[in-house]
C-alpha cells in the first residue's frame, strides 16, 4: 500500500498536522462503531428473520473504514514530508491504534453477527483478544528489542474488511449464510483469518526478531521477569474478564456484549499506552495497571452475591469510570506536555474521551515514575 499512500499524501497541504490526520482516521472508526451500534445494537441484525442493516449503511461503513486505514497509513508520511516527526506523534499514533483494535473488530462482527449462521459473542470475545494480543506482542517486542515490527497481516485484514462491507451491500447478508466450500461457512473463514494472521505472521515474526536480538546480545532486558513484565496486566485483564463471563449471574456478555467489548478494549488501550510510554522514556514497565483494581472489585461484589442484581448497572458505571478517567488524564497530560498547543487542548476537551485515552497513562505514570513527562518534553524538543 505504500505506493498508494505516497500518492495520497501529496494531496494534503503541508500545513496539515500529521496528528490531525491520525485523529481524523480514528474518529471515522469510532463513527463506524456507533453507527453499527444504532442499526445493530445486539448483533442480531444479520441473522435470519431479523431486520437487516440497510445496504447504504454497509457502503458508508466500508468506505469510511478504508479512508480511516488510508489516513493511518499516510500520517507518518505526512510527518516525514513536513519534517515534523516527533516521539509525541508516535505516542499519539500508536496510542490511538491500541484502542482502534476494538472498534474495527467489533464493527466487522455485525457482518455475520449472532444466530444460527453467525458467531457467538463469546467466540468474538476470544477473537478480539487474538487481535489485542497481536498488538501488545508487537510492542512487547519493541520494549525488549527497541524495534517495532508492524506485520503486513494488518494491511491485508483492513483491505479485506473494507471489501467485505461493500460486497455485503451488493449481495446482502444472506449471501454469507451459505457455505462457500463444502461445509465451511464464511463465518468460519472470518475466524480462520483472524487466528491465521496471528499464528502465521505476528507471533512468528515477533519471536524471530526477539531471538535475533537475544543472539546479538542487544536485548534491553535480560531477566525473564523483566522480559515478560508487559504481559502481566493484559493477562490479568483477560483472566478477570473470563471470570466475570463464566460466573456472571445475569450472563453479562450475552446481555451487553457491545458494552463489555468496549470496556475491555478501553482498559486494554490504557495498558498498551503505559507500555508505549515506557518504550519512549526508557523506563521500566509497571507490572499492574491500577484500572484493573476497580474491575476486580466489581467482579468480586457481583459474583459473591453482594450486588448480583446490580450487575448491569455496575458494568455501565465501570465503563464510565474508565472513560472519565481517560478524560482526566488526557487533559492533565496535554496541559503538562503540550502547553505550546493550547488550541489543541481545547479541541481535546470538545471531543472528549476519544482523544484522551492515548494520553491517559502519562500523568498517572508520572506519579509512579517521576520524570517521564519531562523526558518526553526533552525528546520532543530534540
**How does pLDDT run along the chain (382 residues), one tens digit per residue?**
767 777 888 888 888 888 888 889 999 999 999 999 999 999 998 888 888 899 999 999 999 999 999 998 888 888 888 887 776 677 778 888 888 989 989 999 998 888 777 889 999 999 999 999 999 998 899 888 888 776 656 677 788 888 889 999 998 888 888 787 777 888 888 888 888 888 888 888 888 889 998 888 888 888 899 999 999 999 999 999 999 999 999 999 999 999 999 999 999 988 988 888 788 778 888 888 888 999 999 999 999 888 878 999 999 999 999 888 877 766 666 566 665 444 443 443 344 444 444 444 333 433 333 344 444 444 444 4
CA 143/CA 148 separation, integer angstroms: 8
CA 211/CA 219 separation, integer angstroms: 9
* Predicted local distance difference test score (pLDDT) of residue 173: 85
* Predicted local distance difference test score (pLDDT) of residue 336: 60
* Predicted local distance difference test score (pLDDT) of residue 333: 60
The b/e string for 336-345 (b: 16+ C-beta within 10 A; e otherwise) is: bbbeeeeeeb
CA 367/CA 371 separation, integer angstroms: 9
CA 75/CA 86 separation, integer angstroms: 12
CA 24/CA 74 separation, integer angstroms: 12
* Predicted local distance difference test score (pLDDT) of residue 147: 80
The owner of cell 492533565 is 332
CA 242/CA 125 separation, integer angstroms: 10
Q: 66 pairs with which residues across the strands?
A: none
The owner of cell 483472524 is 194
Task: Name the pTM for this structure.
Answer: 0.85
CA 324/CA 266 separation, integer angstroms: 11
Cα dihedral sign, 214-215-218-222: positive
Angle between helices 257-281 and 372-381 (to 10 degrees): 70
3-state DSSP call for residue 47?
coil
* Predicted local distance difference test score (pLDDT) of residue 230: 92
Amino acid at each position: 500500500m505504500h505506493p498508494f499512500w505516497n500518492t495520497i499524501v501529496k494531496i494534503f497541504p503541508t500545513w496539515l498536522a500529521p496528528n490531525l490526520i491520525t485523529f481524523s482516521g480514528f474518529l471515522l472508526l469510532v463513527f463506524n462503531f456507533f453507527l453499527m451500534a444504532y442499526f445493530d445494537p445486539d448483533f442480531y441484525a444479520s441473522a435470519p428473520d431479523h431486520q437487516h442493516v440497510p445496504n447504504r449503511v454497509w457502503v458508508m461503513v466500508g468506505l469510511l473504514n478504508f479512508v480511516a486505514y488510508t489516513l493511518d497509513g499516510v500520517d507518518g508520511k505526512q510527518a516525514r514530508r513536513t519534517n515534523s516527526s516527533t516521539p509525541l506523534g508516535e505516542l499519539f499514533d500508536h496510542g490511538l491504534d491500541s484502542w482502534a483494535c476494538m472498534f474495527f473488530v467489533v464493527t466487522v462482527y455485525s457482518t455475520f453477527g449472532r444466530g444460527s449462521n453467525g458467531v457467538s459473542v463469546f467466540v468474538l470475545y476470544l477473537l478480539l483478544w487474538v487481535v489485542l494480543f497481536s498488538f501488545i506482542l508487537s510492542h512487547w517486542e519493541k520494549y525488549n528489542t527497541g524495534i517495532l515490527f508492524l506485520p503486513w497481516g494488518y494491511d491485508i485484514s483492513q483491505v479485506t474488511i473494507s471489501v467485505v462491507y461493500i460486497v455485503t451491500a451488493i449481495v446482502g447478508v444472506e449471501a454469507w449464510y451459505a457455505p462457500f466450500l463444502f461445509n465451511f461457512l464464511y463465518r468460519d473463514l472470518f475466524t480462520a483469518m483472524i487466528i491465521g494472521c496471528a499464528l502465521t505472521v505476528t507471533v512468528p515474526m515477533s519471536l524471530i526478531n526477539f531471538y535475533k536480538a537475544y543472539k546479538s546480545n542487544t536485548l534491553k532486558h535480560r531477566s525473564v521477569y523483566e522480559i515478560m513484565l508487559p504481559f502481566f496486566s493484559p493477562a490479568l485483564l483477560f483472566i478477570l474478564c473470563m471470570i466475570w463471563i463464566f460466573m456472571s449471574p445475569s450472563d453479562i456478555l450475552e446481555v451487553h456484549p457491545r458494552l463489555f467489548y468496549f470496556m475491555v478494549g478501553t482498559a486494554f488501550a490504557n495498558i498498551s499506552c503505559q507500555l508505549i510510554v515506557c518504550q519512549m522514556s526508557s523506563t521500566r514497565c509497571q507490572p499492574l495497571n491500577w484500572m484493573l483494581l476497580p474491575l476486580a472489585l466489581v467482579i468480586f461484589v457481583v459474583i459473591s452475591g453482594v450486588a448480583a442484581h446490580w450487575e448491569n448497572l455496575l458494568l455501565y458505571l465501570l465503563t464510565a469510570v474508565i472513560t472519565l478517567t481517560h478524560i482526566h488524564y488526557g487533559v492533565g497530560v496535554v496541559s503538562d506536555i503540550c502547553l505550546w498547543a493550547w488550541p489543541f487542548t481545547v479541541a481535546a476537551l470538545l471531543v472528549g474521551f476519544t482523544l484522551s485515552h492515548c494520553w491517559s497513562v502519562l500523568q498517572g505514570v508520572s506519579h509512579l515514575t517521576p520524570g517521564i513527562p519531562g523526558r518526553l518534553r526533552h525528546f520532543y524538543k530534540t
